[in-house]
Amino acid sequence: MLFFKLSAFYFFYFAAVGVYVMFLPKVLSDIGYTPSNIGIVLALAPLMRFLTPFLFLKHVKLNQQLFKYVLLLSVISSSLFYVTIDSFYLFMLNNAILGVCLSLLLPYIELIAIKELKDRYGRSRLYGSIGFMLVGLVLAKYLTEPQIALHYYLCATIITAISAYSLLKYDDVSLEANKDDEKFSILKYWPFWLSLFLMQVSFGGFYNFFTIYETSFGISLEMTSYLWAFGVICEILIFYYQAPLLKKNLLLMIKFSILVTSVRWFLLYLYPESLTISFFTQSLHAFSFGLYHSAVILYLYQLYSNKKLAQQFMLGVAYGLGGFLGAIISGQFYGEFLFLYSSAIALLSFLSLFYMKNKI
């Protein structure tokens, strides 16, 4: 039953992410937002993901009561998309509020999944990839006006909140630090945190402009949705079969995944009009997201005693600050050299890990 509940959560959470990542930039572009404005709007949620965890170092405790408020606020924020999307500044504010919710929602559930499922984590998490893929395939056919994307996003968010609420009874206070535990420190493992940050900066062009980039080179929106779906299929396969790899040197797995990512972006830069190369680069998503994500959260789980805070900061530093700057940079430098910059940044992420001493 727990496996089913977690799988349902991942399915609908990442279905909502799919709408946000794959189609919201296109929707905003169609209603008159410039690339720079799109980058700024989509950067607000990641920025809040970065700032929010700092409240939990001393001032706030992420408990079940607070989590219930987070679920409610996420639904309200998604509902307000309808009335704020036509106003640049109101939509910015709405995305900032949503970012606060997302900075707490996913890491809270991820820890339950890691603790309860252990080796079966990947097989539950793959349902998130399925949700992401299916919404891409379906919405590409029916996205005739912006309101349709907002309908899908709101429905997915509501079901996500219901699924997350059903998992509250599995929350475990042992995942929080005790008074005698070592004080939480980012600086102690700064090369790892720097690598997390740079890796997600490199994803800025992909998450925010891949759809626009591909369609600008003559690839149809429907075919671009197939590219997204193919990447997710490869991601699903690695989630299903990755357990033996995650029993090896986790830091080595992370390094390998980042290096593959750098090659992936470089190929997109070299062959922007090649559908074959685009499909090949999407196959590498198995490593640059699937294997990478699992190895990172397991590495952090072993590295820190305050496991909730570690996961919050992972989302904040990587997908938050890294995603924020990635969105800003990709919005400002969108064009011919976008993925060349992405490749160079991913390479810096790879090199920084050679300063990491802990090789769990």
Q: Residues of 328-338 as b/e, b for ≥16 C-beta within 10 angstroms?
A: bbbbebbeeeb
Q: Is residue 56 helix, strand or coil? A: helix
CB-based contacts of 265, cutoff 8 Å, min separation 6:
202, 205, 206, 281, 339, 340, 342, 343, 346
Question: What is the predicted pLDDT for the residue at 173?
Answer: 53
pLDDT (average), residues 204-222: 87
Q: How many CA atoms lie within 13 A of 244 on its CB side?
A: 1
Tens digits of residue pLDDT in 228-265 = 889 888 988 998 888 888 888 899 999 999 999 999 99
Question: What is the predicted pLDDT for the residue at 120?
Answer: 81
pLDDT > 80? residue 134: yes
What is the rounded CA–CA span in Å between residue 113 and residue 109?
Answer: 6
pLDDT (average), residues 297-303: 87
Question: What is the predicted pLDDT for the residue at 52?
Answer: 84
pLDDT (average), residues 134-158: 84
Question: What is the predicted pLDDT for the residue at 182?
Answer: 59
CB-based contacts of 58, cutoff 8 Å, min separation 6:
none
pLDDT > 50? residue 180: no
For the chain, domains (ranges, CATH) are 2-355 (1.20.1250.20)
Q: Tell me the whole-structure pTM to 2 decimals.
A: 0.78
What is the rounded CA–CA span in Å between residue 193 and residue 355?
Answer: 11
Per the structure block, which two tokens stand in for 194? 């720097």
pLDDT (average), residues 318-328: 84
Q: Which of 38, 30, 45 is nearest to 334 (CA)?
A: 38
Q: Is residue 43 helix, strand or coil? A: helix
Question: What is the predicted pLDDT for the residue at 66?
Answer: 87
Tens digits of residue pLDDT in 67-106 = 899 999 999 999 999 999 999 999 999 998 998 888 888 8
What is the rounded CA–CA span in Å between residue 108 and residue 343?
Answer: 31
Q: How far is CA 288 from CA 70, 100, 162, 234, 264, in A?
A: 30, 25, 30, 11, 9
Per the structure block, which two tokens stand in for 330? 């990709």
Residue 185, burial from CB neighbour count under 10 angstroms (0-12, 13-18, 19+):
exposed
pLDDT > 60? residue 356: yes
More confident residue, 26 or 11: 11
Q: Is residue 217 helix, strand or coil? A: coil
pLDDT (average), residues 278-299: 93
Across the chain, what does the average pLDDT equal?
87
**Locus of tokens 């296109």:** 26
CB-based contacts of 226, cutoff 8 Å, min separation 6:
137
pLDDT (average), residues 33-53: 83
pLDDT (average), residues 197-215: 90
CA torsion through residues 252, 254, 260, 263, sign? negative
pLDDT (average), residues 116-124: 82
Question: What is the predicted pLDDT for the residue at 59?
Answer: 66
Q: How far is CA 132 from CA 14, 20, 141, 203, 282, in A?
A: 5, 10, 15, 17, 14
Whether the Cβ atoms of residue 104 and residue 53 lie closer than 8 Å to each other: no
**Locus of tokens 């925010």:** 208
What is the rounded CA–CA span in Å between residue 160 and residue 122?
Answer: 19
